[in-house]
Structure 1
Amino acid sequence: MSKKFLASCHCGSVRFSVELSDSFNTVRRCNCSFCSMRGAVAVSAELSGIQVLDGKEYLTEYRFNTKQAAHYFCSKCGIYTFHQRRSNPKQFGINVACLEGVSPFDFESMNVMDGINHPSDGGGGIIGVLTYRKATS
């Protein structure tokens, strides 16, 4: 089941539409060094599922280690918007915080993927589940 959203960075300079490939069934976190530092919650979209509507000139690309994954950020506000996945180069990982009406705190639990031992290197898979519970007063 796919689901379409409008999305943007924090300052609104980069605006895009995205059609998720399997709604929120792919919601995940990753433990690689980069994902651990940025703390984003991601979902998947096919490469054809993203259309940058405004601000393409503000997108900055970052690649590290194997240089296979391309991570895109707004050069004005610094927010990670999406990345072309190393584990599946036919897909983008989308920052759920950029999706209109969606918050990373909307998900009670999500899988944590082993990006330290990447699937492309013979490792990977689910290494845990991150759970979010709202505090009660």
Structure 2
Amino acid sequence: MLYKGSCHCGKVAFEVEGELTGAVRCNCSICSRKGALLWAVPHGKLRLLAWGDDLGQYTFGSHVIAHRFCRTCGIHPFAEDVSEGSERSAYVNIHCLDGLDLTAVPIVDFDGRAA
């Protein structure tokens, strides 16, 4: 299925294709503060539609995940695995997907603080 999403102001917009069978609620220091529910997809399934100079990046710790955010409205629509290789992933914040019934998506808790 094809999903469309964006930040709050729409300056960062994307589409993602895949089967949304669940999302992860991570308790690491950044995810818990953002309140993100993350859907992991192969990086090639995420396609940016609009971003310009508005797409910011934040990394911390081991710097293997680029947490993307809109510089205008501050919303974090997705993150990206920035490691080398073909197995890269994208992590879509399902709160940013258009028309999604969040109550229908199973949520799995992940202990990112211990990882």
Query: What do you get for the CA RMSD once the two structures are aligned?
Result: 2.0
3-state SS in 2 of match to 1:24: coil
3-state DSSP class of the match of 2:11?
Answer: coil
Answering whether residue 111 of structure 2 is matched by residue 111 of structure 1, we say no
**Match status 1:27 vs 2:40:** no
- Structure 1 segments, 4+ long, off by >6 Å, are none
> How far off is 1:70 after superposition?
0.6
Matched, 1:84 2:85: no
TM-score, normalised to structure 2, is 0.86
- Supply the AA of the counterpart residue of 1:66: S
The 3 A distance-change label for structure 1 pair 108 and 68 is: closer
Structure 2 gaps of 5+ residues are none
Q: Which structure carries more strand by proportion?
A: 1
Paired residues in the alignment total 112
Query: Which structure has the bigger radius of gyration?
Result: 1
- Structure 1 residue 101 and structure 2 residue 99: aligned? yes
CA distance in 2, matches of 1:52, 1:91: 14
- Residue 27 (structure 1) shift: 0.9
Asked if 1:11 corresponds to 2:9, the answer is yes
**Cα distance in 1, alignment partners of residues 105 and 3 from structure 2:** 21
Under a length normalisation based on structure 1, what TM-score does the superposition of the two structures give? 0.73
1:93, distance to aligned residue in structure 2 (A): 0.7
Secondary structure of the 2:45 match is strand
- 1:5-27 deviation digits (Å, cap 9, x = unpaired): 1111101111111113xx22241
Higher RCO, 1 vs 2 (CA within 8 Å, ≥6 residues apart)? 2
Deviation at 1:109, TM superposition (A): 4.4
